[in-house]
Amino acid sequence: MPLRICTIYQVLMCLLLVGCHAKQGQFHLVKKGQTTTQIAHVHDISVEDIQKANPQRNLNRIYAGQRLWIPSIKKVSQQSEAKVKRVLDAHNVRPTASKIPSKPSVTTQKLHFQWPYKGRILVAFGKENLKMHNGIDIELPSEHAIVASQKGKVAYIGSEIEGYGKTVILQHDDYLFTIYAYLGAINVSKGQMIAQGQAVGHAQKQTGQSFFHFEIRKVKTALDPLQFLK
């Protein structure tokens, strides 16, 4: 009898552990003006994963103070980073030189990068939630225009990069690239020459404030945009 009780206890403990493992994650307390897309970006998961974890929630109508369950799943940042680099290669924007410095050169530092939109920075460049955030997230009004930070050529447009949404990549001098992601609309075409300050897209339509993600890269190495924006 004691052996049987012990066996039942072990089975119950195993089931409990499996259940806990399946529910690993954390709650996110929605802030005022925050969107599901922003929440997904901060936690490095997809909106679809949040919806699956919160099947009873209408993610189009979240509100401040609401709690959303954020599952602990495989991060998409590494996949996204690899995809960005593959996209750069696939669209023939990788320079042919064998050795290109990844650090900002004197020429790079002298280039004047304009703010795509001068808004509040929601997420800065650097480590965020134990992952590397390769750019900055900028708040702006819903559907507001987002402009080219520097003159250049449109190297890529599309939405195939997971975790980036609708994206525009511009190629500039000195092996530099700027990336504009989470756009609501794209206003340019691949191969088009763009002037500094020209609209490349518009922010997503949101109730309240929207946001977009902005990066500056040297070849494929992410740089802190705040070192260059004027």
Q: How confident is the model at residue 104 (pLDDT cuts 50, 70, 90)?
A: low
DSSP state of 157: E
CA 37 and chain centroid, separation: 9
Q: Which residues pair with 198 in a beta bridge?
A: none
Two structure tokens written together for 210: 């929207």
Distance CA 39, CA 45 (A): 9
Of the candidates 103, 127, 107, the one whose C-alpha atom is nearest the C-alpha of residue 217 is 103
CATH of the domain at 147: 2.70.70.10
Instruction: Report whether pLDDT(21) > 50.
Output: no
Give pLDDT, residue 20: 41
Read off the pLDDT of residues 159-177 as tens digits, 9 standing for 90 and up.
888 778 899 999 998 889 9
Q: Check whether residue 60 and residue 83 sit in a common domain.
A: no
For range 127-139, the mean pLDDT? 81
φ, ψ for residue 71 (rounded to 5)? Answer: -70, 150
| Entry pTM | 0.71
In the chain, the amino acid numbered 38 is: Q
Read off the pLDDT of residues 43-94 as tens digits, 9 standing for 90 and up.
777 888 889 999 989 988 888 899 999 887 655 556 667 767 776 666 555 5
- For the chain, the maximum distance between any two Cα atoms, rounded to a whole number of angstroms, is 82
Of the candidates 138, 103, 154, the one whose C-alpha atom is nearest the C-alpha of residue 229 is 138
Instruction: Report whether pLDDT(141) > 80.
Output: yes
For range 120-140, the mean pLDDT? 85
Pair 199, 147: CB distance under 8 Å: yes
Domain boundary among 20, 52, 71: 71
Q: Which domain does 64 fall in, by range?
A: 2-71
Which segments of the chain does DSSP mark as H helices, in order? 2-22, 36-43, 47-53, 77-90, 106-110
> What is the tally of helices (H) and strands (E) in the chain?
5, 14
Domain boundary among 71, 106, 131: 71
Q: Check whether residue 101 and residue 155 sit in a common domain.
A: yes
Two structure tokens written together for 19: 């259940």
Instruction: Report whether pLDDT(17) > 50.
Output: no
